Chain A
Amino acid sequence: MTTLQKDEDGTFSNTEPKRVKVYILENNEWKDTGTGFCTGEVSTVTTLPLNIDSDNDTEQKSAFLMVSNEEFPANILLKSKLEGNIEYQRQEETLIVWKDLEGHDIALSFEESLGCDRLCDFIVQVQRHIAKNISLVAVRSGDEGVGSIHEIITAPVSLPGTQSEQNTETLYDSLKILNENTAYQFLKTETVEFVLQSDYIKILINCFDIAEENRALKDLFLLSNIIKTLILYNQRDILEYMVDDDHIMGVIGILEYDTEFPNVKSNHREYLKKGAPTFKEILPLENQDLKLVVKKCFRLQFLKDVVLVRFLDDHNFNLFMDIILDLQTCIIDFLEVDPFLENILKLYDLRKEEEKEFTDLEEKRNDGIKLLHQCVQMSKNLEERDKTKFYKALVRMGLFNVLSYAFYVVTDPNIRILATETIITIIEHDILLIRNVASKNSKLYSRRKSPLPGSQTSEDGLKNLTPMSDEMKLLKILSKILLTDKNPGLREQIVQALNTLLHPEGCFNNLDGDFDGMGSGSMLNDFNYRLNSERENNFDSATSLNNEYTNEGDMNSSLDSLDNDQEFQLQEYFNDFYKLIAPILFAPLIEKNGSTNEAHDEKGQYDDFLLIQLVKLISFISTEHTRITSRKFILESDVLKQVCRLIKPGHILQLRLTAVRCIKNIICLDDKYYHRYLMTNNLYDNIFVLMEENKKKDNLTNSCIQDFFKIVSSKCIASNMDKSSIEELRQQTGITVSKKNNFSMLNKYLVNRFGDKFAELLDIPSVGVMVSLCEAEKMETAKKSKTLTDHILSKVDTIIEEEEDIPMAVSHASPIDHNETSEIRKRLRGDIDLIDSTTTHEAGINLQDELPSKRQN
Chain B
Amino acid sequence: MMKIDRTITLLKQGKHITEEAVYSLCLKAQELLMTEANVTHVDTPVTICGDIHGQLHDLLTLFGKSGGVEKTRYIFLGDFVDRGFYSLESFLLLICYKLKYPDRITLIRGNHETRQITKVYGFYDEIMRKYGNSNVWRYCCEVFDYLSLGAIINNNIFCVHGGLSPDVSTIDEIRAIDRKQEVPHEGAMCDLLWSDPDDVEKWSLSPRGAGFVFGQNEVNQFLHTNNVELIARAHQLVMEGYKEMFDGGLVTVWSAPNYCYRCGNVAAVLRIEDDLQRNYTIFDAVQPQDGVGNAIIPTKKSQMDYFL
Enumerate chain A interface residues (CB-CB to B < 8 A).
260-261, 263-264, 266, 271, 275-282, 294, 297-298, 302, 305-306, 309-310, 331, 367, 370-371, 374-375, 377-378, 414, 417-418, 421, 488-489, 492-493, 653-654, 657, 661, 664, 697-704, 706-707, 709-710, 764-766
Contact A700 B308 (CB under 8 A): no
Q: Nearest-CB distance from B291 to chain A (Å)?
A: 9
Residues of B within 8 A of A709 (CB): 176
Q: Nearest-CB distance from B177 to chain A (Å)?
A: 6
User: A378-B308, A488-B23 given. 16 additional CB < 8 A pairs?
Assistant: A264-B290, A264-B294, A277-B303, A277-B305, A279-B307, A280-B305, A298-B306, A306-B299, A414-B133, A489-B19, A493-B134, A493-B138, A653-B31, A702-B175, A703-B176, A707-B178
Contact B35 A699 (CB under 8 A): yes
- Asked whether B242 is an interface residue with its Cβ less than 8 Å from the other chain, the reply is no
- The number of A-B residue pairs with CB atoms under 8 Å apart is 135
Nearest A residue to B135 via CB reads A489
- Asked whether B261 is an interface residue with its Cβ less than 8 Å from the other chain, the reply is yes
Contact A305 B180 (CB under 8 A): no
Q: Is the interface of B mostly helix, strand, loop or mixed?
A: loop
- Asked whether B111 is an interface residue with its Cβ less than 8 Å from the other chain, the reply is no
- Asked whether B33 is an interface residue with its Cβ less than 8 Å from the other chain, the reply is yes
Q: Say which residue of A306, A414, A657 sits within 8 Å of B298 (CB atoms).
A: A306
Q: How far is the CA of A701 from the CA of B146 in the complex (A)?
A: 11
Contact B37 A371 (CB under 8 A): no
Residues of B within 8 A of A657 (CB): 34, 180
A266 and B306 contact, Cβ closer than 8 Å, known pairs A700-B179, A701-B34: no
Q: Nearest-CB distance from B245 to chain A (Å)?
A: 30
Q: Is the interface of A mostly helix, strand, loop or mixed?
A: helix
Q: Say which residue of A271, A281, A377, A489 sits within 8 Å of B23 (CB atoms).
A: A489
Residues of B within 8 A of A378 (CB): 308
Contact B178 A282 (CB under 8 A): no
- Asked whether B129 is an interface residue with its Cβ less than 8 Å from the other chain, the reply is yes
Residues of B within 8 A of A421 (CB): 133-134
Contact A654 B34 (CB under 8 A): yes
Contact A309 B85 (CB under 8 A): yes
| Chain B 196-235 interface residues, beta-carbon cutoff 8 Å to A | none
- Asked whether B1 is an interface residue with its Cβ less than 8 Å from the other chain, the reply is no
Q: Nearest-CB distance from B261 to chain A (Å)?
A: 6
Residues of B within 8 A of A275 (CB): 303
In this complex, how many residues of chain B approach chain A with their Cβ under 8 Å: the count is: 45
Contact A370 B305 (CB under 8 A): yes
Q: Nearest-CB distance from A59 to chain B (Å)?
A: 57
| Chain B 251-308 interface residues, beta-carbon cutoff 8 Å to A | 261, 288, 290, 293-294, 296-300, 303-308
A276 and B37 contact, Cβ closer than 8 Å, known pairs A417-B135, A700-B180: no
Q: List 19 A-B contacts (CB under 8 A).
A: A260-B288, A261-B294, A261-B296, A263-B288, A263-B290, A266-B297, A277-B303, A279-B307, A280-B306, A305-B300, A310-B296, A374-B307, A377-B128, A488-B139, A489-B133, A661-B180, A707-B176, A710-B176, A765-B176
Q: Nearest-CB distance from A286 to chain B (Å)?
A: 15
Contact A305 B36 (CB under 8 A): no
Residues of B within 8 A of A282 (CB): 307
- Asked whether B30 is an interface residue with its Cβ less than 8 Å from the other chain, the reply is yes
Q: How far is the CA of A371 from the CA of B308 in the complex (A)?
A: 7
| Chain B 47-95 interface residues, beta-carbon cutoff 8 Å to A | 85
User: What 4 A-B pairs are tightest by C-beta distance, nearest first?
Assistant: A489-B135, A371-B307, A707-B178, A698-B37
Q: Nearest-CB distance from A477 to chain B (Å)?
A: 19
Contact A305 B129 (CB under 8 A): yes
Q: How far is the CA of A707 from the CA of B176 in the complex (A)?
A: 5
Residues of A within 8 A of B173 (CB): 765
Contact B176 A706 (CB under 8 A): yes
- Asked whether B38 is an interface residue with its Cβ less than 8 Å from the other chain, the reply is yes
A704 and B178 contact, Cβ closer than 8 Å, known pairs A263-B290, A279-B306, A699-B36: yes
Q: Nearest-CB distance from A297 to chain B (Å)?
A: 8
Q: How far is the CA of A501 from the CA of B288 in the complex (A)?
A: 48
Contact A700 B36 (CB under 8 A): yes
| B 126-146 to A, binary, CB cutoff 8 A, 1 in contact else 0 | 001100011110110000001
Contact A375 B175 (CB under 8 A): no
Contact A700 B34 (CB under 8 A): yes
Residues of A within 8 A of B133 (CB): 414, 417-418, 421, 489
Contact B178 A367 (CB under 8 A): no
Q: Nearest-CB distance from B181 to chain A (Å)?
A: 8
Q: How far is the CA of A648 from the CA of B186 in the complex (A)?
A: 32
Residues of B within 8 A of A699 (CB): 34-37
Q: Nearest-CB distance from B6 to chain A (Å)?
A: 21
Q: How far is the CA of A77 from the CA of B99 in the complex (A)?
A: 92
Residues of B within 8 A of A374 (CB): 306-308
Q: Say which residue of B128, B139, B290, B297 sits within 8 Å of A309 (CB atoms).
A: B297
Residues of B within 8 A of A493 (CB): 134-135, 138
Q: How far is the CA of A506 from the CA of B255 in the complex (A)?
A: 41
Q: How far is the CA of A150 from the CA of B41 in the complex (A)?
A: 63
Q: Say which residue of B23, B179, B293, B300 sits within 8 Å of A264 (CB atoms).
A: B293
Q: How far is the CA of A365 from the CA of B138 in the complex (A)?
A: 27
Nearest A residue to B36 via CB reads A699
Q: How far is the CA of A632 from the CA of B135 in the complex (A)?
A: 34
Contact A704 B298 (CB under 8 A): no
Contact A700 B146 (CB under 8 A): yes
Nearest B residue to A368 via CB reads B307
Residues of A within 8 A of B305 (CB): 277-280, 367, 370
Residues of B within 8 A of A764 (CB): 176
Residues of A within 8 A of B300 (CB): 271, 276, 302, 305-306
